[in-house]
């Protein structure tokens, strides 16, 4: 396994549409393993293959609701059902230090293949539904900044919250 470099906003790879995965071979498995290691090392909750310069429809993410240690691998993922709406603060490993409010579904269902090509479905609420949407949008060349309704100063927000908690 190897850590891969995370591309940042402005890199043209991030604006391209990723290709569907057709071969579930060693090359794919190496990419997924590298993405797992890269995500783990980053402290983030989700990573899409174009963020490491591989234009293939692959995502790894943490299901923080079920088991924050479990990394979910999604090949050719598609959000097939959404319910509700909520405004949530969002960020992205490819846009370091930038956070903003985005409207996302409160619940979403995703359909994807595993690393061997088997189809499955998975549901997520809150931050996980948000992550399903955010990561699949990367595969179509979109960044969350296109959806931000209001940017937030995360340091100020944390300071306010700390003050409120006192
Ligand atoms: Ni992102």
- Tell whether the model's pLDDT for residue 157 goes beyond 90: no
**Rounded mean pLDDT, 132-157:** 95
Q: Are the C-beta atoms of residues 121 and 109 closer than 8 Å to each other?
A: yes
Range of lowest pLDDT (6-15, 65-74, 140-149): 65-74
Q: Are the C-beta atoms of residues 51 and 88 closer than 8 Å to each other?
A: no
- Amino acid 140: pLDDT: 98
The overall average pLDDT reported for the chain is 95
Tokens read off for 163: 């003050």
- Amino acid 144: pLDDT: 98
Q: Is 135 a catalytic residue?
A: yes
- Amino acid 165: pLDDT: 77
- Dihedral sign, Cα of residue 30, residue 14, residue 140, residue 134: positive
Tokens read off for 155: 């340091």
Q: Ligand 1 center to residue 56 CA distance, Å?
A: 15
Q: Which of 37, 123, 135, 150 is catalytic?
A: 135
**Rounded mean pLDDT, 83-111:** 97
- Amino acid 85: pLDDT: 98
Choice between 64 and 35, residue whose per-residue pLDDT is larger:
35
- Secondary structure class of 128 (helix, strand, coil): helix
Q: Which residue has the tokens 């890269």?
A: 38
* Cα 122 from Cα 110, distance rounded (Å): 5
Give the tens place of pLDDT for each residue, 53-96.
999 999 999 998 888 788 999 999 999 999 999 999 999 999 99
Q: Ligand 1 center to residue 148 CA distance, Å?
A: 13
Specify the pTM. Answer: 0.93
Q: Ligand 1 center to residue 34 CA distance, Å?
A: 17
Beta bridge partners of 59: 48, 74
Q: Ligand 1 center to residue 166 CA distance, Å?
A: 33
Tokens read off for 83: 């319910």
Q: Which residues in 31-97 belong to E strands, given as ranges?
A: 46-48, 58-63, 67-83, 86-90
Length of the chain: 166
Q: Ligand 1 center to residue 137 CA distance, Å?
A: 9
**Rounded mean pLDDT, 27-54:** 97
- Tell whether the model's pLDDT for residue 166 goes beyond 80: no
- Amino acid 113: pLDDT: 98
- Tell whether the model's pLDDT for residue 131 goes beyond 80: yes
Q: Which residue has the tokens 């900044």?
A: 145
- Tell whether the model's pLDDT for residue 132 goes beyond 90: yes
Q: Ligand 1 center to residue 94 CA distance, Å?
A: 6
């Amino acid at each position: 396994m190897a850590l891969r470099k995370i591309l940042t906003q402005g890199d043209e790879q991030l604006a391209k549409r990723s290709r569907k995965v057709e071969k579930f071979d060693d090359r794919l498995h190496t990419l997924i393993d590298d993405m797992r290691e890269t995500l783990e090392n980053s402290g983030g909750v989700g990573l899409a293959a174009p963020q490491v310069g591989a234009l293939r429809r692959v995502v790894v993410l943490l299901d923080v609701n079920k088991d924050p240690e479990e990394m979910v691998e999604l090949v050719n993922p598609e959000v097939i059902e959404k319910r509700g709406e909520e405004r949530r603060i969002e960020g992205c490993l490819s846009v370091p230090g930038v956070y903003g409010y985005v409207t996302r579904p409160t619940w979403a269902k995703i359909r994807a293949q595993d690393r061997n090509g088997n189809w499955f479905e998975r549901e997520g609420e809150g931050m996980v539904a948000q992550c399903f949407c955010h990561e699949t949008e990367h595969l179509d060349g979109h960044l969350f900044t296109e959806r931000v309704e209001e940017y937030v100063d995360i340091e100020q927000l944390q300071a306010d919250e700390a003050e409120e908690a006192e």
